[in-house]
């Protein structure tokens, strides 16, 4: 079994299941939200595969000392969590 498959089965899939958005109450392209930023590298590793679903990452977080967050978005370096959206 290759590394990408192990990462998907052990890290990415359980996180998606835990943070998945209820499709019956939310009508939109969001798949999962509130995922801690420390898992972003695993999601990017799995989604870089040619057969993977095209996804977009949106970063979420609060303003921190030295960083005043614009109202419309948050930079990846200052994010606390992220959400996964379909493209």
Residue ranges of domains in the chain: 3-86
Confidence of residue 68 (pLDDT cuts 50, 70, 90): confident
User: What are the tokens at 66?
Assistant: 């030295």
7-34 tens-digit pLDDT: 989 999 999 999 999 888 888 899 999 9
Cα dist from 84 to 19, 44, 73, whole Å: 10, 11, 15
pLDDT at 69 over 80: yes
Residue recorded with tokens 């998907």: 8
Give residue 50's Cα distance to chain centre: 18
């Amino acid at each position: 079994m290759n590394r990408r498959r192990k990462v998907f089965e052990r890290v990415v899939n359980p996180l998606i299941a835990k943070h998945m958005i209820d499709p019956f109450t939310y009508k939109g392209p969001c798949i999962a939200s509130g995922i801690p930023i420390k898992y972003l590298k695993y999601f990017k590793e799995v989604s870089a595969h040619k057969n993977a679903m095209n996804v977009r990452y949106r970063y979420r977080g609060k303003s921190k000392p030295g960083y005043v967050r614009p109202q419309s978005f948050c930079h990846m370096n200052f994010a606390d969590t992220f959400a996964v959206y379909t493209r």
